Amino acid sequence: MGRAERRKYKRLPVKLHLSCRKVGSTPEEFHTGCTVNVSPGGMFFETAAGSFKPGNLLPGNLLRVELSIQPTVGLLEVGGRISGFAKVLRTFNVDDSLLSAKYGVAVEFCQSPKLST
């Protein structure tokens, strides 16, 4: 018997490029990554940025996030950006190889992100 789903929103497996930075850091201290899944309540993304190594970024830290949306016929003809603030829920190692480290980050949106074209 499977576990009951406790999430409020369904997650969609969407790959979007993102940039983010910890609230309080300088604008130059931004990092990049790629979403694995997104919902109206939050998202999970992966990044190679060492700042997201478990212990460096703590649950409860706030991030300013910006997702890049590619133009899509019939959906968003000119593309755009979704931006907002998100609270870190957890971070963990996705890939621990010596050649490349990858970290997973789960966040909850503090409010609905805004779309700009």
pLDDT in tens, 69-116: 888 777 667 888 999 999 999 999 987 665 668 999 999 999 988 888
Give this prediction's pTM. 0.86
Task: Name 106's bridge partners.
Answer: 44, 90
Q: What are the tens digits of pLDDT across the range 31-78?
A: 999 999 999 999 999 999 888 888 888 999 999 999 998 887 776 678
**19 in Cβ contact with 72 (< 8 Å):** no
| CB within 8 Å of 38: residues ≥ 6 apart | 11, 12, 14, 16, 67
Q: Encoding tokens for residue 57?
A: 């970024």
The domain limits of the chain are: 17-116
| For residue 5, pLDDT beyond 90 | no
- Of 16, 59, 57, which Cα lies nearest the Cα of 34? 16
CB-based contact 110:62 (threshold 8 Å) = yes
Question: In the prediction, which pLDDT does 34 show?
Answer: 96
Instruction: Record the tokens describing residue 66, joined without a space.
Output: 């910006």
Tell me the C-alpha distance between 16 and 27, whole Å: 21
May I ask the CATH architecture of the domain 17-116? Beta Barrel (2.40)
